[in-house]
């Protein structure tokens, strides 16, 4: 991965984290955290999916939101 790709991935990851922090009203969320472990639930997951789709044009599967860390989720979005 070159420096530009790493920088793009870091920006993407930070935007996903910002959205999660705002939706879950929790500032202590990092790329290693999972949606469910920081207070997410099945009612909030579609809201996060909608916000990600609105910003990046890619809608993550709810299963990915539930089973992947935020860092892994950002990597999926970058690959899409």
Query: What is the tally of structural domains in the chain?
Result: 1
Contact 76, 68 (CB under 8 A): yes
**Residue 7: its pLDDT value, please?**
63
Q: How much is the pTM?
A: 0.88
Domain containing residue 26: 3-79
Residues contacting residue 65 through CB under 8 Å, at least 6 positions apart: 35, 40, 45, 48, 49, 73
CATH of the domain at 35: 1.10.1200.10
Q: What are the pLDDT tens digits along the chain (80 aa)?
A: 565 566 688 899 999 999 999 999 999 999 999 999 999 999 999 999 999 999 999 999 999 999 999 999 999 998 87
Which of 29, 37, 22 has the alpha carbon at shortest distance from 67? 37
**Residue 3: its pLDDT value, please?**
58
**Residue 39: its pLDDT value, please?**
95
């Amino acid at each position: 991965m070159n420096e530009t790709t790493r920088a793009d991935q870091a920006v993407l990851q930070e935007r996903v984290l910002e959205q999660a922090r705002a939706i879950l009203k929790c500032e202590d969320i990092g790329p290693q955290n999972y949606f469910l472990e920081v207070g997410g639930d099945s009612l909030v997951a579609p809201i996060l999916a909608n916000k990600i789709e609105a910003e990046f044009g890619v809608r993550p599967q709810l299963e990915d939101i539930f089973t992947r860390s935020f860092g892994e989720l950002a990597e999926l979005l970058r690959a899409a």
